[in-house]
Amino acid sequence: MNPLFHRLGIPIDIDTLSGLQRLVDEHAFETRHMDFKRQINDLNDLSDDLSALANVGGGVLILGVAEDRMSRAESLYARPLRVLEQ
């Protein structure tokens, strides 16, 4: 068990496809420490999300999971990740 995930209340299996699918199937809510992101639009958007997580003491930004209007996991977004360069 990842001690950081445990401390922040983050499911321990979110680093697997089956764990991500479980979040979608259960319509898991975002939390202060777990943020869903369908895709990365630009560096400013990414830096805002990462700064927000840092300001609450850490967490995970899960790329490739779309959310509904109530900030619940809605679907997996299966597209290749675009490489961002500084």
Split into its structural domains, the chain has a count of 1
Residue 58 pLDDT greater than 50, yes or no: yes
- Specify if 35 maps to a domain: yes
Which pLDDT belongs to residue 86? 44
Question: Is 84 among the domain residues?
Answer: no
Confidence of residue 66 (pLDDT cuts 50, 70, 90): very high
- What is the band of 62 on the pLDDT scale with cuts at 50, 70, 90? very high
| pLDDT > 60? residue 85 | no
- Asked whether residue 50 is domain-assigned, the answer is yes
| pLDDT one-digit tens code per residue, 11-57 | 888 888 899 999 999 999 999 999 999 988 888 989 999 999 999 99
Q: Are 53 and 66 in contact (CB under 8 A)?
A: no
Residue 79 has pLDDT above 70, yes or no: no
Structural domain boundaries, residue 61:
3-76
Give the pLDDT score at 16.
Answer: 87
